[in-house]
Structure 1
Amino acid sequence: MTAKPMTKTQLVAALAEEMDADKKTANAALDAIAALVMREVAAGGAVTLPGIGKVMCRARPERQVRNPATGETMTKEADRAVKVTIAKALKDAVNS
C-alpha cells in the first residue's frame, strides 16, 4: 500500500478540523511544536510526543567509511544524528 504522504497544508487543515479552530491557529500550533522539537533536539535533549514517539539526538563515534566510487577507506569524524523511536501505541494502531 503506497500512499502519498500528507502535505503540510493537508496536515494543517486536518489539525484545524480536529481542534475546531481556524487554519491560521492550527498552522501556528504546528510551527510552534516543530520549532520546540528542533530547538530541544539540537541542544542534545529529547522530546516525547505522546502516542507518536520520542525524538532524540544520538552521538555517533568516529568511524571508518569506504568511498563506493574509488574504494578508498577514510575516517569520518564523530557527529550527531537524529533518532526517532516510535511509540508502542502507534505500532499497535498500525499493526491492528
Structure 2
Amino acid sequence: MTGNELVEKIASSLSLTKADVKKTVDALFAEIGDAAAKGEEIAISGFGKFVPKKRPARDGRNPATGEVMTIKAATNISFKPAKALKDKLNG
C-alpha cells in the first residue's frame, strides 16, 4: 500500500477530504520521525513500538576490491509489533 492509497482509504472510511487526511498522516509521520531522531521510543497502543537502535562503527570490506574499510556508526529504527497486531497477522 502506498501513502496515497492509505490517505484515500482513511478519507473514504471517515468521510473526510483527502487533503485533510494527507496533512494528518504527514504530521503523524513527522512527529514519529522527530521523536525517533531524539532517541525516544514511540509506543502506539495496540499497534507496536518504534525503537531507535544505535549501531557502532565496524570494519567491513569493499566487495569489489576486498579493501578493508570502516563502516561508520549509525542509528536505525526497528519496529516491534504489539500482541494485538501479531494476533491479527497470524489469525
TM-score tier by shorter-chain length is 0.7 to 0.9
1:9 aligns with 2:14: no
1:62 aligns with 2:68: no
CA distance in 2, matches of 1:31, 1:82: 18
CA distance in 2, matches of 1:74, 1:39: 31
1:26 aligns with 2:25: no
- Length-normalised TM-score, structure 2: 0.85
In structure 2, the partner of 1:83 is 78
State the number of aligned residues: 91
Shift of 1:37: 0.4
RMSD over equivalenced CA pairs, Å: 1.5
One-letter amino acid of the counterpart of residue 57, structure 1: P
Shift of 1:35: 0.8
One-letter amino acid of the counterpart of residue 22, structure 1: T
In structure 2, the partner of 1:42 is 37
Unaligned runs of 5+ in 1: 1-5
1:41-60 deviation per Cα after TM superposition (whole angstroms, max 9, x unaligned): 11111211233221121111
Unaligned runs of 5+ in 2: none
Identity %: 37
One-letter amino acid of the counterpart of residue 19, structure 1: L
